Amino acid sequence: MTTKVQDEVTVEVPVNLAYNQWTQFEEFPRFMDGVLSVDQITDSRLHWVAEVAGVRREWDAEIVEQQPDRKVAWAATGGATNAGAVYFEPVDPGRTRVRLELEYEPEGLVERTGNALGLVKRQAKDDLARFKAFIEDRDVPTGGWRGDVAPGASVGTPGIDAAAASSGDSGKAGVSPKVAAGAAVAGAAAVAAGLAASRSDDEQVTGGGDVVDVLTSDHAEITALLAVLRAESDPQRARDLADTVIAELVRHSVSEEMHVYPAIRKHLPAGDQAVEHDIEEHKEIESLLEELEKADAAGPEFHDVVQQLTQVLDDHVADEEREQFPQLRARIPAAELVEIGARVERAQRLAPTRPHPGTPNAKLFHVLAGPGVGLVDRLRDRLTGRADNT
């Protein structure tokens, strides 16, 4: 399944000025959200650095066709699979229509939260609007490159087939793999790439990482989901996303308690104390999740709870990743860490809360957990097996 995003904006400048500005890729961070830097390696190769949901990412993009005053087309060469084109069409001598077509292949998180598509679409719209403000605000572009790339190639709008080299290479969150994205509308592509790279189901099944990799990847995914939730203004989509956050966090906490905390108790000095501290924080997180499930997504308190949850979780994740995980790696044999990681992955795959790609979240939760208040408790009972014994 692929996802297409199309949008356009009319800018109040002649086509040559709009096009010239667009060729100044290194200027993109000035008007594209989340893009930190762009380096033009050659006329057709670009290296991008962006921040997506607080995670730094780098990628390369190849321009497959560029025609002055008409078109810039790109395809990914590695990482998250995406491709697209930006077209420039004169409306009259002083106005230009800038049209974007972007296609990408969602994985993991994107498939499980259809809402992410909304975020990518909004990012594309916002970036085009910022481009319009940027170019209309100045008399002359900051530069211009009038060369051709592949003149006469007429590749149309490259689809994800053109980015086949990047297929199945989405990498893991936080390690800056060669995540690829488009040369244009970098913000939208970065969101798509970032979400896709945060964790794919394939990686969960075949990743073979140790337990620290598995849990760190969970943390990145949940942090990214919370960032999407904080930006969501539609109450129904916010409700669905919140339910997904609840399920992911309960699933993560329960698997830590069942499979990881016993190892911390056994192998770390003062392990009992560390576990008791962690469990206290899990309780705090869980009570915020209970507030979140009761909160009206259209009401003012909903986003307050999301904000509090973000803060508590950020602290808890920092404790685990900075203090406990390095100690686990230092004190537990690597093979045992991989074995614990496999146990966590197995438990997560069997967990009844695991969203199935393509299943609408609301329906999923009604089927698996029943509607209404009590979701956190019911999920915990199912995951720990308590529900089977009562």
Binding residues vs Fe ion (CB under 5 A): 256, 320
Could you tell me the smallest distance in angstroms from the CB atom of residue 159 to Fe ion?
38
Could you tell me the smallest distance in angstroms from the CB atom of residue 241 to Fe ion?
20
Could you tell me the smallest distance in angstroms from the CB atom of residue 294 to Fe ion?
23
CA trace torsion 72, 75, 76, 77 (10° rounding): -110
For residues 283 and 280, what is the distance between their CA atoms, to the nearest angstrom? 5
Could you tell me the smallest distance in angstroms from the CB atom of residue 357 to Fe ion?
24
Could you tell me the smallest distance in angstroms from the CB atom of residue 284 to Fe ion?
11
Query: Which residues have CB under 8 Å from 21's CB, separation 6+?
Result: 27, 131, 134, 135, 141, 142, 143, 144
For residues 236 and 334, what is the distance between their CA atoms, to the nearest angstrom? 44
Could you tell me the smallest distance in angstroms from the CB atom of residue 255 to Fe ion?
9
Could you tell me the smallest distance in angstroms from the CB atom of residue 292 to Fe ion?
17
Between 51 and 284, whose beta carbon lies closer to Fe ion?
284
234: which 2 tokens? 């539609």
Between 96 and 223, whose beta carbon lies closer to Fe ion?
223
Between 62 and 221, whose beta carbon lies closer to Fe ion?
221
Between 210 and 320, whose beta carbon lies closer to Fe ion?
320
Could you tell me the smallest distance in angstroms from the CB atom of residue 247 to Fe ion?
15
Between 165 and 312, whose beta carbon lies closer to Fe ion?
312
> 14 vs 72, 132, 148, 281, 390, CA distance in Å?
17, 12, 19, 58, 72
Could you tell me the smallest distance in angstroms from the CB atom of residue 183 to Fe ion?
36
Could you tell me the smallest distance in angstroms from the CB atom of residue 253 to Fe ion?
6
Between 152 and 322, whose beta carbon lies closer to Fe ion?
322
Residue with tokens 């040369």: 183
Between 55 and 190, whose beta carbon lies closer to Fe ion?
55
Between 166 and 216, whose beta carbon lies closer to Fe ion?
216
Between 91 and 270, whose beta carbon lies closer to Fe ion?
270
Between 136 and 280, whose beta carbon lies closer to Fe ion?
280
